[in-house]
Amino acid sequence: MGREDMTPADLKAARKSLDLTQAELASMLRMRGEHAPDTVRKWERGALDIPGYVIVIIDLAVNVPGARERLVTAPIHRP
């Protein structure tokens, strides 16, 4: 799957292959707020376009050995 052609179904399949809930994916993407899982849900339904950075991160998590674990467990650094 190329980075520029992720469909809503591709996103959902990738999330499931990573064994993540919508809330866990939102957390992995460092999305804030109680509505973050709703945004993931909208991407998966095609109601919102999937941002490029999400496609890149999902591609890495799926295709680079060890990336999923590092993305899920990495501490969040905020200035």
Whether the pLDDT of residue 37 is over 50: the answer is: yes
Q: Is the pLDDT of residue 79 over 70?
A: no
Residues 43 and 54 sit within 8 Å (Cβ to Cβ): yes
Give the pLDDT band (50/70/90) at residue 66: confident
- The rounded distance, in Å, linking the Cα atoms of 70 and 51 is 21
pTM of the prediction?
A: 0.81
How large is the average pLDDT for residues 18-47? Answer: 93
Place of tokens 């991407």: 43
Q: What is the pLDDT of residues 39-57, one digit of tens each?
A: 999 999 999 999 999 999 9
In sequence order, which residues have a C-beta less than 8 Å from that of residue 30 and are 6 or more positions away?
76
pLDDT at 2 over 50: no
